Amino acid sequence: MVSSAFAADTKVKGRLYANWNMDLTDGAESANRFNIKTAYVTVKAKLSIYTPVRITTDIKDTSAFDGYSIILKYGYIDWKPEFGHGNLKARFGLQPTLFIDNMNKLWGRRYLEKTVGDVNKFLTTSDLGASAFVKLGKTGYAALQILNGTKYTKVEELNKNKDIGLFALLKPFANNENLKRSRLLGQAYFGTQNVSLMPGVDVTADSTDMKASQFKHQIISFGGMLGYSNKLDVGFDANFMTKGTGYNDTTGVALDDLKSSGISLFGTLYFEGLTESDSFARTLNLFGRFDMLDENTDLANDGKSLFIVGLECNPTKGFKASLNLRTTSYELDGKDSESELFINTLFKF
């Protein structure tokens, strides 16, 4: 009876991201390859009605051998106290950073490309820590995260400081049938980079008094999506980061902060809401995305942009495929743009 009850409360899910791409840039000679970008296996179980557990594994390229290693991406337990009446939740363990996690859902094509804040490493997607969630009725929820400030691919913590993340998700049109999929997201993240603050470790000036403020890691993010019925999505993702750059290696003088920005605009036209019920075109979506990255807002001509346009086919619940063209352009004079053709696939169970 015990094993039957456990099996009934345990679910196993998986996702596989596989692709083929060809480099169309001048001089690349049509170089192309097949690749597996990610393979997730997730196990979710309920220890009780108040304590669900999640474990998710990922794959990662390693230098030790020409293959993939399996690593832990998520491993956490939630506690939903009875006195909270479904409005309170606490989380402990290796868990998602909430802004990127929810922006991935709005963008809807993680199998094709990461969000602008993720792909440009503004913040990790998973970290060790504790979180508290408060449900805001039908309009969304707010959360507080206390994290190590590391990442799931390198979990060793090099200083005692903890990072604080404030997050909110709102459903501004929860009662509107045509716009109920719309979301607004916000994040305020304050922390310290994962560096040792011992004198002489991160700078050569042994006498330097290492201050956490010189290695700050602060991010303000906001984003959202306007989803109209089953016909159209339009969304945005904006991230502004400040990172301390430490000290001059020889003089120990504090260096200026580095300020970066990453902004993404995206949209999808769903043929499902525009075609006949028996038409194959109902499985197709036309989408586009435009990213703008400024790695140092104090410098000119150091930015770049990414433009993606493609056609997606979703013939069944467990499969998606996309043919898409990507162009990366650079502000720096003389640096040529790069173009690639992709076929991306998502398999899930």
**Count of the separate structural domains present in the chain:** 1
Does 250 score more than 80 pLDDT? no
Closest residue by Cα to residue 320 from 82, 96, 14, 109 = 109
pLDDT digits (tens, 9 = 90+) for 310-329: 999 999 999 999 999 999 99
Q: Is the pLDDT of residue 63 over 80?
A: no
Question: 126 is in which domain, residue-wise?
Answer: 2-348
Average pLDDT, the chain: 93
| Model confidence, pTM | 0.92
Q: Which CATH number belongs to the domain containing residue 151 in this structure?
A: 2.40.160.10
The reported pLDDT for the residue numbered 198 is 77
Spatial CB neighbours of 280, under 8 Å, sequence gap ≥ 6: none
Q: Give pLDDT tens digits for 10-58.
A: 999 999 999 999 999 999 999 999 999 999 999 999 999 999 999 999 9
Give pLDDT tens digits for 167-210: 999 999 999 999 999 999 999 999 999 998 876 555 544 445 67
Q: What is the pLDDT of residues 121-169, one digit of tens each?
A: 999 999 999 999 999 999 999 999 999 999 999 999 999 999 999 999 9
